[in-house]
Amino acid sequence: MKMTSISNCNIKLHRCESFFYIFLWIGAVLYSIYKVSLISNYFNNYNDIYGDFAPGWSWIGRKQDISDQEWRIWIPLMIKLIPYLVLHHFISRIIKIIANSMLICCWYIFMAITFLYFCVGTLGMLCVVMQPSILFILTYKRNRSTVWSINILFLFIIHFLKIPDGTFQNMLELNDEEHYILTLVMCWVQLRSISYSIDNEKSYLKDDDMFSFIRNFLCKLAYCLYLPTLSLGPLILYHEFADSVNGTFQSLKLANLRNFVFNLIRYIFWIYFANLCLHFLYFNAIQYHPEGVQDLNPWALYGLGYCMGQFFLIKYVVVYGLNRTLCAIDNVKAPPQPKCVARVHLYSDMWKYFDQGLYKFLVRYMVYYNCFTLFPLLLLSSFYGHN
């Protein structure tokens, strides 16, 4: 007798049964979110010494939860980037028509340096520029083991530089927001430096003259400091970035402009939607009050986990989605926005569909080269442990 595997059986549910499960699921989610909304009672007489709340929109008449550091810094940072991005794209379109890829690389570097100068100051800007420069010199024409060793050492250094109110922050005279942005940029630069070094491992052997050295150096700086993805990602692997820079010029079409405007409206909507929710759902602030979490009933506790996951998703949908839209203007192919975490039923698919740029990085450089040591843990903690 042949046994049929359960995994190969295609069981089709009746339509009424499917609707019943959908209704049950949506009802349970909405009820748990309602229970989370009752957490606001905990903060009625709250002494806000840490600045977890701010006066909300006047027409709502409620205070807004601003305790999430990433959301509090990321959105103003994206607004601050707007004039630099407009100039970045306007001039880059002109350069691509009349000049070669080396000039466009110089323009990318110049715009990133200009933004960093006004955002984190002279010393902060020099730190960001020196990081890929030093890594380029140390890893140029080195074998793979040396490249990994040097980058792991630099990642350890970044972990020490991230310490709040530490020697690094005080020496550069940065406030907490500037220090956060600087270390965030350095983490992204570190990833791109690894991608560049590994992807160019073989091409280095063919280049022996000074012109090639300078050209490679400018390409790396342009890649590491590319303004639309400089501070908030997503991660674009070097060979994908190089293909777009070295590719033929493509003029903007009406369909491209329509997609740009549509995506811009779409992600702005999610920003306002998230801020609206933060007037009623204080799931970020309650995380810093264990005594309040202990008193939650199971429904509120499940809803708390659901809201935290969805808010985490919205943050990356907004920043990755907007930056991908901006990259499309330069014909740079960036990874798509994350897939909704509520639709991911296998955690093995979480990295694959949430942060596809980082996932491709892990597969291309770490799984392929058997580099699973302490480095992946440090890497992931650098990008998702800023709070």
pLDDT by residue, tens only, the chain of 387 residues? 444 444 455 567 778 888 888 899 999 999 999 999 998 888 888 888 888 899 989 899 899 999 999 999 999 999 999 999 999 999 988 888 887 778 899 999 999 999 999 999 999 999 999 999 999 988 887 877 888 888 888 888 888 888 888 888 888 889 989 999 999 999 999 999 988 988 887 665 566 677 888 888 999 999 999 999 999 989 999 988 988 877 766 777 777 788 899 999 999 999 999 999 999 999 999 988 888 888 888 899 999 999 999 999 999 999 999 999 999 888 888 998 888 888 877 777 777 888 888 888 888 877 555 554 445 545 555 554 544
- Distance, in Å, from the CA atom of 65 to the CA atom of 56, rounded to the nearest integer, reads 9
Size of the chain, expressed as the number of residues it contains: 387
Per-residue pLDDT, 108: 94
Report the distance separating Cα 227 and Cα 240, nearest Å: 16
Structure-token pair, residue 85: 């991005």
Q: Residue 64 is which amino acid?
A: Q
Query: In Å, how far are 213, 236, 266, 300, 304 from 316, measured between CA atoms?
Result: 36, 15, 14, 24, 19
- Cα distance between residue 41 and residue 18, in whole Å: 37
Instruction: Give the integer Cα–Cα distance in Å for 176 and 340.
Output: 31
